[in-house]
Amino acid sequence: MTVDAVYLLQLTLNGITLGLIYALIAVGLSLIFGVMEIINFAHGELLMLGAFAMTFALPVMGLLYWPSLAVAILAIMLVGLVIYEVLLARLKPDEFERSILITLGLSIIIIHVMQYLFTATPRMVDTQYGFEGVSIGSIRITWTRIIGAVAAAAAFGGLYVVLRHTQFGRAMRAIAQNREAALMVGIRPRVVARNAVVLAAGLCGLAGAAISPIQLVTPYMGQFLIFKAFALVIIGGLGNIPGAIVAAIALGLIESWIGGFYEIIWQEAAVFVIMIAILFVRPDGLFKRGGMRVG
Amino acid sequence: MNPALELVSVTAGYGDVPIVREFSARLQAGSITTLIGGNGAGKSTLLRAIYGTNRFFSGQIVFKGETIERLPPWERLRRGVGFVPQGRCNFPAMSVAENLKMGCYTLPKAVHDSAIDRVTGSFPMLRQKWRIDAGNLSGGEQQILEMAMVLLVEPKLLLLDEPSLGLSPKMQGDVFTTVQRIAAGGVTVLVVEQNVRGALLISDRALVMEQGRLFMEGPAEEVRTDPRIKQAYLGGNIHQTAA
């Protein structure tokens, strides 16, 4: 098989966009885990809801991309707030098993309610950019992919500033590092947990909205995502946000390359084979826990 | 003179298990009180009950004339109760600067810098280690950092759980001197210490706890020379329970 350099570059760029979107999911998952010590198994469904929010917002907004994106993000933050206040706020700190059942159950309920309301028929999303894009030589990338990648990268920049330089974000890292010390300085764990869930939901909303013009939107689109995101969080070094981002981009690239060179059917299976192999070789992940640690 | 802190028949513990039982005591403002007791006597449990991080069953905690036993920890901190828990109670992957910033969590933003200046003035070591992660400081430096994090909010009552644990004798002395200096500034201190002799030497009063109950109280000097205390905590041999 000869590898066409242009084709490879195209796949690589697509992989980076996909990876950045995975990273949004993984980082949110990591954030919630750090602050609440639970895995939110309904996290992929927040992405799906974000994609649906985008499909509904776009026609209302006259197909304008940015206002629709903002609406989708805000809508999913609101969903996150409701999920926190109604379900997660009732969890006590040592109820990990209950948290699995609650969030897993929630994920299944959301999927089926969405299917009941909007059917399982895949939806295509049209934006003001349509399928326009930029061409460099024989490479073509659609604007929606470029914007998705840029918006994700900008979100990480914003997240870095918030976690590093605001008391709001620092409190999240603080709780993750030492719960008792957080109480010592007067942090209110439930307020910070709520903030973390809403922030993570916003990242999911962004990811879903950004992915909707790139992939088909269905109630099932988030289903396997949680397992990938969970694996990324562990491979990235539990709670290590830059680690999760690097792992996520690597995953996006691997998926894109495998999907591009082999039958698409291998894509999902190969990704999990690689992730299981890494976890056998490096049980604590590829990167140390450090720097921007929230776990 | 009104007591800074009054404990009235406090019963507290974890889950369904009371550890501290019907414990009553009064602390005078600006005094240092040492809480003495064997392992599992309930010393840490009592400090946690005063700060509100464990389960409170019954009784009253009166601080500056107000009952605080039903308030969450952050509300007690706002009212002037500071608690430095036992052992490495900081944010290990944050720098000293960030840890101090977190210590300002309940303060308005406008006073953060002046509070940090004031505290680092008392502990210049913190400025020297400004960019170092708390987890990489020595045990003594971490202890100083933790006290500084709580002192940022200028508490009127400071609860210290084993501040000298794991420190070199020299560092232990430094910590005791620091505690004396804090109390001299008008802060009421209640300290649990494994170095009973050292703690009694800087204390005004002592409370002795046995199996969750108050066993004895009095001026530190008196308790220090009490034969039962000498026997049990000051290098005596087998601990004779008298409760």
pLDDT digits (tens, 9 = 90+) for A131-183: 888 888 888 888 999 999 999 999 999 999 999 999 999 999 999 999 999 99
Q: Which of A177, A178, A186 sits opposite B106 (nearest CB)?
A: A186
The Cα B55–Cα B201 span in angstroms is 32
Within-domain flag for A166: yes
Task: For the beta carbon of residue A229, count every other beta carbon within 10 angstroms.
Answer: 29
The more confidently predicted of residues A213 and A270 is A213
Chain A positions touching B102 (Cβ under 8 A) are 167, 170-171, 174, 181-182, 185, 187
Within-domain flag for A294: no
pLDDT band at B1 (very low <50, low <70, confident <90, very high): low
pTM for this structure? 0.90
Domain with A21 in it: 5-281
Q: Which of A177, A183, A187 sits opposite B93 (nearest CB)?
A: A177
What is the tally of structural domains in chain A?
A: 1
Within-domain flag for A136: yes
Report the CATH number that the domain containing residue A145 is assigned in CATH: 1.10.3470
Per-residue model confidence as pLDDT tens digits over A179-207 = 999 999 999 999 999 999 999 999 999 99
Within-domain flag for A47: yes
CB contacts under 8 A, B 86-105 vs A, are: 88-94, 98, 101-105
Tokens of A105: 């159950």
Within-domain flag for A17: yes
Which run of H or E residues covers position A230?
Answer: helix A225-235
Contact: A181, B73; criterion CB under 8 Å: no
Within-domain flag for A289: no
Size of interface A-B (CB pairs under 8 A): 71
Task: For the beta carbon of residue A262, count every other beta carbon within 10 angstroms.
Answer: 12
Distances (CA, A) of B243 to A6, B19, B45, B214: 84, 15, 18, 9
Query: A135 in contact with B at a CB cutoff of 8 Å?
Result: no
The Cα A45–Cα A68 span in angstroms is 19
- pLDDT for A274: 83
pLDDT band at B240 (very low <50, low <70, confident <90, very high): very low
ipTM over 0.85: yes
Within-domain flag for A295: no
Burial annotation B127-138 (CB, 10 A radius, 16+ → b, else e): eebeeebbeebe
Per-residue model confidence as pLDDT tens digits over A56-69 = 999 999 999 999 99
* pLDDT mean across residues, chain B: 92
Within-domain flag for A286: no
DSSP alpha helix (H) spans, chain B: 43-51, 73-79, 96-103, 112-122, 125-128, 139-151, 169-184, 196-202, 220-225, 227-233
